[in-house]
Chains A and B, each alone.
Chain A
Amino acid sequence: MIAVKYFGAIAEKTKSSEEEFSFSGMPLGDLLLALEQKYQLGQFSFSVAINQKIVQHTANYVLKSNDIVALLPPFAGG
């Protein structure tokens, strides 16, 4: 099981703040691509955290069971 957390405008687009997927061993890049297509996230820029740590090279990481992925867009309001 893998959990994906959404923040800011992305949570608004996905209409949920958290979602679970029952697989593991998938490259993070594939998951992100699938999510971008499912929710049309192409317009957003965001950083990705795995288990509360921002990862830079998202494509190569292979997701393990119990990983928590977070999609963090920058906020601009003030």
Chain B
Amino acid sequence: METARYNRQIILPEVGINGQHKLQQAKVLIIGAGGLGVAVLPYLAAAGIGEIGIIDDDRIEVTNLQRQVIYKSSSVGKSKVLEAATMALELNPSIKINAITEKLDSKNAILLFEQYDIVVDATDNLTTKYLINDACCVTNKPFVYGSIYKFEGQVSVFNYKNGPTYRCLFPEENSEVRNCNDAGVMGISVGIIGMFQANEVLKMVLGIGELLSGKLLVYNMLNNEQQKFDFSKTDTSTIDKVAFENKYTSVESATIEISAALALEQINNKNVVFLDVRNSEEYPKITIQNGLQIPLDRLESALHQLDSNAEIFVFCQSGIRSKKAVEILRNNNFATAKSIAGGAKALDKILHKGTVSVT
């Protein structure tokens, strides 16, 4: 091991040469190479975490550059994780980086998590956070959580030594929250929260300090107020591989979603119903001849409004409530109901382009 490289941390009694060995032995998986992921990655790499996996199937877009500061303007269009891996290896060639150009899903999560010690959540949606949580419970891995809403950030550590999980803190799975793309964010905000996450990872590996296990840290960038909230283990349901597979194959089957473009090809088909499960005050309004609006919470009691022979395409704002609606419909003999990927925004985009193109 190159001790010169790590000298300034090795001379800390809390780290020492022993600690440096622990860092070298550690395997950390970062889910997402967006704002949080690229804040976490260089610091873990520089500190000498021996093996780092980073998974994301996105490519670099110009709108990423204001906050995903390891990417160069000349890299727009390239794979995020491949670029991130190149950067991290230039920073520290003595470590191993696994760039995984895939999207995390229920099919790859378990196998992947089993190869690492710690999972870092650097994602931008709630669905994936629940998936990470459940896969961490199955594989018994700690999960370092970070998330942003505008100028506020949350950090916590879940499932650490069987401690409280994400579901203990936020039990309601079917909520919708705007992410950075929708709500806006400053680069510094994701940087700060990413640093808190990297710090939790290093403390966990080194066995120093107090982790945020059973604690939610909320940081406000505008007034620098920082608060911690305690929570305890309440979700005691255990999940094993079989339960995990059953849960996710029922909602994630390939046929459950349809693209907005393909759905709109059926716009003149009298047998198709475009079912909007949002509340009536939500925008953008989608006006389609064969459209129908039933908010999700009323759907079960309003099933009689639907023609039992109709082909139903469901949409909401972003695609979360519509999946829940499809589950309800499929459990009530509408076996072919599908959720429109990207929801109202995707439909609106195509409808306002004036042409319907197939992708």
Contact = CB atoms under 8 A, between A and B. Distances in A.
Contacts of A52: 227-230
Contacts of B174: 45
B319 to A, nearest CB: 13
B234 interface: yes
B190 A78 contact: yes
Interface-central residue, A8, A52, A56, A72, by most chain B CB under 10 Å: A8
A77 B37 CA distance: 12
A43 B280 CA distance: 12
A56 B34 CA distance: 33
Interface string A12-46: 10000100000000000000000000000001110
A76 B175 CA distance: 10
B124 A78 contact: yes
A74 B123 CA distance: 13
Contact of B147 (A9, A56, A70, A75): A75
A72 B229 contact: yes
B122 interface: yes
Contacts of B35: 77-78
A61 interface: no
Given A52-B227, A54-B231, A44 B32 contact: no
Q: How large is the interface on A (under 10, 10 to 19, 20 to 34, 35 or more residues)?
A: 20 to 34
B36 interface: yes
Nearest to A9: B149
Interface string B97-136: 0000000000000000000000001111110010000000
B230 A74 contact: no
Interface string B281-311: 0000000000000000000000000000000
Interface in B48-78: none
Given A8-B149, A53-B229, A53-B230, A78 B180 contact: yes
Interface in B162-208: 169-170, 172, 174-175, 177-180, 183, 185, 190
B216 A78 contact: no
A70 B229 contact: yes
A47 interface: yes
A47 B177 contact: no
Interface of B: 32, 34-37, 121-126, 129, 146-150, 152-154, 169-170, 172, 174-175, 177-180, 183, 185, 190, 216, 218, 220, 227-232, 234, 279
